Amino acid sequence: MARAAGVSPATVSRVLNGHGTVDPSLAKRVRATTAKLGYVPNAIARGLALGTSHAVGVVVPDLANPFFPTMLKGIGLAAGTAGFRIVVAESNERIAEEVRLADELARLTDGLILCSPRMPTAALRSLVDRGIPVVCTNRVVRAPELGIVAADWITGARLLASHLADLGHRKVAFLAGPASSWSNQQRRLALSRFEGLKVEVIPAGSASADGYAALPSALETGATAIVAFNDLVALGVLGRLGELGIRVPDDISVAGFDDIPSAGFLRPPLTTLRLPLVDLGVQAWHVLQRRLDKQPPGPPVRLLPELVVRESTAPPAK
């Protein structure tokens, strides 16, 4: 390339990166040549020389849950503005896979955003101790150099519990998500501790099929309302309920978490806790950027979910 334009590689680098200063006529010649040859700098070589890939790794448990893609939009948006690209990997909710991916991405990129990670705290710490800039979303872990951006599910779940209690419910079934999920623990805890509501915890999972499968057990508890770990699980619940001819909210109330895009279009529209997901992604990027700049991550960012009351919750039947 340099030869084709009759200049040195350094000059090419200068005009392409807008550093130093170059004689306009030379610059023009270089640009003309790059255009003619369709030349594009090799990002790998550039990364090696600069010691930075201008890419960050993002690992998510499950892309099929709209929760994560929505957050990715936010991360991608903010990172793109700063000239960074994101590399996303999916762990399929498997912890070992998650650790492996984080490790691998760390070698390849400048930093990591771990979304709702399920890995042990020690593994998380080890990443940080290796000097890798990492931010963790939806999980709070005490570690000085770890960035944290998480929802305040305790307050959020209390909002929901209080909505249900106000409606007159006294006993609710909570269809729990993955045990290793911090969000799940928080939601369960807040619900259980709420005064005036008896909550039965039924193990379910994070997918619609899990909700579908767990519904009968929830029914057996005699609860008048069902709170699902997330909207996907609630969707499965709604499906099974419809199949059984049990009406929502007349016979039983149902609520979820996350407010995925479909939540408002279901029949009945789902009452749920909305998290500003795009914003959450943007914030995660900003915290990471601070770490990339060798600055401390700053205090944990906590986002408050908003209760979205739709038609799936109502006073109990009797």
Partner DNA sequence: ATGAAAGCGCTAACAG
Partner DNA sequence: CTGTTAGCGCTTTCAT
Cα distance between residue 168 and residue 161, in whole Å: 11
Nearer to DNA, 10 or 32 (CB): 10
Region class of 131: left (phi > 0), else alpha (psi between -120 and 50), else beta: left
- Residue 54 Cβ, how far from DNA at the closest point, in Å? 11
Nearer to a copy of itself, 66 or 190 (CB): 66
Nearer to a copy of itself, 1 or 26 (CB): 1
SS3 of residue 159 by DSSP: helix
Q: Which helix (H) or strand (E) holds 80?
A: helix 67-81
- Looking only at the bridges linking them, the beta strands covering 306-308 and 271-274 are antiparallel
Nearer to a copy of itself, 72 or 303 (CB): 72
- Residue 42 Cβ, how far from a copy of itself at the closest point, in Å? 6
Nearer to DNA, 42 or 122 (CB): 42
Binding partner of 168, given a copy of itself, DNA, none, CB within 5-8 angstroms per partner class: none
Cα distance between residue 299 and residue 268, in whole Å: 40
What is the maximum span of the chain, computed from C-alpha positions, in angstroms?
Answer: 87
Binding partner of 82, given DNA, a copy of itself, none, CB within 5-8 angstroms per partner class: none
Binding partner of 108, given DNA, a copy of itself, none, CB within 5-8 angstroms per partner class: a copy of itself
Q: What DSSP letter does each residue of 192-205 carry, written as one string?
A: HH-TT-EEEEEE--
Binding partner of 299, given DNA, a copy of itself, none, CB within 5-8 angstroms per partner class: none
Binding partner of 34, given DNA, a copy of itself, none, CB within 5-8 angstroms per partner class: none
- Residue 107 Cβ, how far from a copy of itself at the closest point, in Å? 5
Region class of 195: left (phi > 0), else alpha (psi between -120 and 50), else beta: beta
Residues 253, 316: contact at Cβ < 8 Å? yes
- Residue 262 Cβ, how far from a copy of itself at the closest point, in Å? 6
Sites of contact with a copy of itself (CB under 8 A): 38, 40-45, 47-48, 53, 55, 63-64, 66, 69-70, 72-73, 76, 85-90, 92, 103-104, 107-108, 130, 207-209, 212, 232, 235-236, 238-240, 242, 261-262, 264-269
Binding partner of 21, given a copy of itself, DNA, none, CB within 5-8 angstroms per partner class: DNA
SS3 of residue 70 by DSSP: helix
- Residue 108 Cβ, how far from DNA at the closest point, in Å? 12
Q: Which helix (H) or strand (E) holds 21?
A: none
For residue 316, cis peptide bond before it (omega within 30 degrees of 0): no
CA torsion angle 93 69 190 221 (round to 10):
-70
Nearer to a copy of itself, 6 or 242 (CB): 242
Binding partner of 122, given a copy of itself, DNA, none, CB within 5-8 angstroms per partner class: none
Cα distance between residue 30 and residue 2, in whole Å: 8
- Residue 125 Cβ, how far from a copy of itself at the closest point, in Å? 13
